[in-house]
Structure 1
Amino acid sequence: MRADRLVSLVLLLRQRGRLSAATLARELEVSTRTVLRDIEALSSAGVPVYAERGRHGGFALLPGFQAELTGLNHDEALALLVAGSRRGAQVFGLGSALASAMLKVVDALPAGQRDTAAGAVRRLLIDPESDLLARRVVADEVPDATVAEIRRAVFAGHKLRIRYAAVDQAPAWRTVDPIGLVTVRDQGYLLATRSGADRTYRLSRVLAAEELDEPADRPERVDLDRAWQERGTRFRTGGDQVAVLVRLNPARRSDLVNTALAVRAEEVDADGWLRLEVTFQDARHAEWTIWQLATNAEALAPQWLRASLHDRAAAIADRYGATS
């Protein structure tokens, strides 16, 4: 861990020039005192780092210093493989490894290309934290230690013990055979089997994880894309799904379609509104979705859904109609 941090410190100084101890501490996510100890260790090892005093002082390397420091460790190489999605790296607990790996990649470039690449990067913004309406994009929060334990079991092919909090159930321990990890729209999932049956676990609901020594019971090779599609098909066609007939303002079609599991039928009414038969995961999913669309949608069937939405609207009207 410290060796990787020392490498990152040297690369930061090479690429960005003089930096204060506070800036280095922020970049490396350590204390200022740790940075000072690391600077002393580098000096003792013969790395020509020196301090400049004064208001604009800091630490810098002697001009022209070169060293073979760009070898990637396992996590950094893995992070680059998922670097197509910065948030994917975060979901799998590889955010810091990705940052360290990118420092090494930039450092490996010739000086001219390094400057060009740095300028190009400043012209690109990928996956900002909010959209144009200032709505924050919320990714799953999974402790690094937990997801690291899951990763180790997946890669080593060992059984995994997880404490999982399923929806509307008390957290419970269970032992699974991990198959692979998937990230979709900033949400991470563990694909596994349990007693031979396929299981999919959302990483944010894993409260604790423990890699076991026992080998996992799983095939030698796996097609994760196919496995994910097959589980998605079973999810959409099973369980307590609800079919709903909806009249919808066409301007809000994408909002409905992107939330529903499937669109079974669609036609246009005489007034231009859409009439769709859509499927939802369960009753709660159906009620929540139609409620979000407010007066842009009307559930025509089933009757229990119309009654539920009516009761909710009446309660809201009563609350705001009363004098304070």
Structure 2
Amino acid sequence: MKSSRLVSILLLLQTRGRLTAAQLAEELEVSVRTVYRDVEALGAAGVPLYGDAGHAGGYRLLDGYRTRLTGLTAGEAEALFLAGVPGPAAELGLGSTLAAAQLKVRAALPGELREHADRVSGRFHLDAPGWYARAEETPYLTAVADAVWNGRVLDVRYRRWREPTDVERRLEPYGLVLKAGRWYVVAGPGPRTFRVDQILGLTVSDEEFTRPGDFDLAAYWTAYQRDFHERLHPGEAVVRIAPTTLANAFEGRAVTVDGAPDGDGLVRATVPVESPAHAHDEFLRLGTAVEVLEPPELRARIAGTVAELARRYA
């Protein structure tokens, strides 16, 4: 811990210039006395650091003393600071690690690249969850992440949607995925996908496992999402629909469009749907921006609802 703290003091002074012992103590969450000892240790190690007394005093490094990373372009520096999402990192127990890493990178960047990185972090903020998504509590996320990293088997009590809801599972965790603010663990045998927030209890086993050498987490997740959508929307509906509505309402589905817009500005499209009842509600919400052509039973069902609405509001 001390060596890490000494590096942090060095990098803070390198990036911010003069800092008082109190400011360093607050930044590092230690006592002022600890900062005094650390500064003495840095001086004894040959770091050209000196302190000024008085109201405007503080510690600073000798001008020109710094370390630099070489080979980074402006775009790479910007990407480094855009890629670090603090929320998910904190959930994994890596919040302080991420902050320390960014500090080290920033300290080593030449002035021009540091300016680029600061501009990105000040102008772009990544917020993964959707607007109406309730934050899910994931008390076992850190333990799952540790098991993923160290190749440890997990014995979990898991809640699924179908009966029996609460089941016992032995998992060989291959990787973690964050999707729309929700964490999933991909685990063998299988592999299969489990929601981390549905883990009710967890024991880390002493048993180790070997992750398959040919397993590609990104490729698995892409295929899993494709299969999920195919299972979720097994039916089809043919509709006349406004192009903008089609793009916004059915994003992510394998929609096919037949021809150019007609005289009303609508296109003919085939849309994957979940079930007649779900499709009925889904298309009604779109109002006059869509007309269902097929299947006949769905069209008749919507026509009946519209007729009833007209009668009520007449």
Q: Distance in 2 between matches of 1:127 and 1:6?
A: 31
Shift of 1:120: 1.6
Question: Aligned partner of 1:234: which letter?
Answer: D
2:254 to 259, 262, 275: 262
Counterpart of 2:143 in structure 1 is 149
Deviation track 1:42-96 (CA, whole Å, cap 9, x = no partner) reads 1353455757654xx57533435968899xxxxxxxxxx9876333982673443
Question: Aligned partner of 1:39: which letter?
Answer: V
Structure 1 unmatched runs, 5+:
71-80
Deviation track 1:5-42 (CA, whole Å, cap 9, x = no partner) reads 453243122211234678657755x4xxx353541341
Alignment RMSD (CA, Å)? 4.7
Indicate conservation of the 8 Å contact 1:140/1:188, yes or no. Answer: no
Shift of 1:230: 2.9
| Mapped pair 1:158 → 2:158 | no
Q: Distance in 2 between matches of 1:165 and 1:7?
A: 45
Counterpart of 1:179 in structure 2 is 174
| Mapped pair 1:40 → 2:36 | yes
Counterpart of 2:72 in structure 1 is none
Deviation track 1:178-201 (CA, whole Å, cap 9, x = no partner) reads 1223345655432212xx333112
Q: Residues 22 and 179 of structure 1: is their aligned pair in 2 closer, same or farther, counting only changes over 3 Å?
A: same
Counterpart of 1:87 in structure 2 is 85
Indicate conservation of the 8 Å contact 1:69/1:104, yes or no. Answer: no
Counterpart of 1:234 in structure 2 is 227
| Mapped pair 1:272 → 2:269 | no
Shift of 1:123: 3.2
Indicate conservation of the 8 Å contact 1:183/1:189, yes or no. Answer: yes
Indicate conservation of the 8 Å contact 1:245/1:301, yes or no. Answer: yes
Q: Distance in 2 between matches of 1:7 and 1:282?
A: 59
Q: Distance in 2 between matches of 1:274 and 1:66?
A: 66
Describe the SS at the equivalent of 1:100.
helix
Question: Aligned partner of 1:8: which letter?
Answer: S
Q: Residues 179 and 273 of structure 1: is their aligned pair in 2 closer, same or farther, counting only changes over 3 Å?
A: same
Counterpart of 2:184 in structure 1 is 189
Counterpart of 2:62 in structure 1 is 63
TM-score by length of structure 1 reads 0.65
Shift of 1:255: 0.9
Counterpart of 1:219 in structure 2 is 212
| Mapped pair 1:100 → 2:94 | no
Shift of 1:273: 1.0
Q: Distance in 1 between matches of 2:195 and 2:304?
A: 29
Deviation track 1:204-252 (CA, whole Å, cap 9, x = no partner) reads 5556654322123642332223322332333233357443344322222
Q: Residues 157 and 237 of structure 1: is their aligned pair in 2 closer, same or farther, counting only changes over 3 Å?
A: same
Question: Aligned partner of 1:178: which letter?
Answer: P
Q: Residues 187 and 159 of structure 1: is their aligned pair in 2 closer, same or farther, counting only changes over 3 Å?
A: same
Q: Residues 149 and 177 of structure 1: is their aligned pair in 2 closer, same or farther, counting only changes over 3 Å?
A: same
Shift of 1:282: 6.1
Question: Aligned partner of 1:158: which letter?
Answer: R
Q: Residues 19 and 185 of structure 1: is their aligned pair in 2 closer, same or farther, counting only changes over 3 Å?
A: farther
Q: Distance in 2 between matches of 1:137 and 1:41?
A: 49
Q: Residues 240 and 253 of structure 1: is their aligned pair in 2 closer, same or farther, counting only changes over 3 Å?
A: closer
| Mapped pair 1:128 → 2:125 | yes
Structure 2 unmatched runs, 5+:
44-48, 70-78
Counterpart of 1:119 in structure 2 is 115
Indicate conservation of the 8 Å contact 2:151/2:208, yes or no. Answer: yes
Q: Distance in 2 between matches of 1:41 and 1:191?
A: 46
Larger Rg: 2
Question: Aligned partner of 2:270: which letter?
Answer: E
TM-score by length of structure 2 reads 0.66
Q: Residues 264 and 251 of structure 1: is their aligned pair in 2 closer, same or farther, counting only changes over 3 Å?
A: closer
Indicate conservation of the 8 Å contact 1:160/1:178, yes or no. Answer: yes
Describe the SS at the equivalent of 1:45.
helix
Deviation track 1:274-295 (CA, whole Å, cap 9, x = no partner) reads 2322224567875775466455
Indicate conservation of the 8 Å contact 1:21/1:35, yes or no. Answer: no
Indicate conservation of the 8 Å contact 1:162/1:206, yes or no. Answer: yes
Q: How many residues align?
A: 288
